[in-house]
Amino acid sequence: MTPAIEIRDLRKRFGSHDVLTGVDLTVESGEIFALLGPNGAGKTTIVNILTTLVRPDAGTARVTGIDVASDPAAVAQRIALTGQAAAVDEVLTARENLAMFGRLSGLSRRDAHTRADDLLERFDLAGAATRRVGTFSGGMRRRLDLALSFVVQPVVLFLDEPTTGLDTRSRRELWQIIASLASAGTTVFLTTQYLEEADQLADRIAVLHEGRIAALGTADDLKARVGGGSVQLRDADGALLREIPTDGSVTSLRRAVDDIDREGLAGDVTIARPTLDDVFLALTETKEAA
Q: Which CATH class is domain 5-223?
A: alpha beta
Locate the domains of the chain by residue range: 5-223, 227-273
Residue range 165-172: mean pLDDT, rounded: 84
Which of 125, 133, 121 lies closest to 92, judged by CA? 133
How many helices (H) and strands (E) the chain has is answered by 10, 13
The pTM score is: 0.79
**152-162 pLDDT per residue, tens:** 889 999 998 88
Identify any residues that bridge with 204 across adjacent strands, giving them in sequence order: 33
DSSP 223: H
Give the best-scoring range by mean pLDDT among 58-72, 195-209, 218-232. Answer: 58-72
Which pLDDT value is given to residue 287? 47
Which pLDDT value is given to residue 138? 86
Identify any residues that bridge with 215 across adjacent strands, giving them in sequence order: 207
Sheet order of strands, 156-160 included: 79-82, 156-160, 187-192, 32-36, 204-209, 212-217
pLDDT(289) > 80: no
Which pLDDT value is given to residue 227? 67
Residue range 141-156: mean pLDDT, rounded: 89
**Helix intervals (H) in 60-184:** 72-76, 94-104, 109-122, 138-149, 168-183
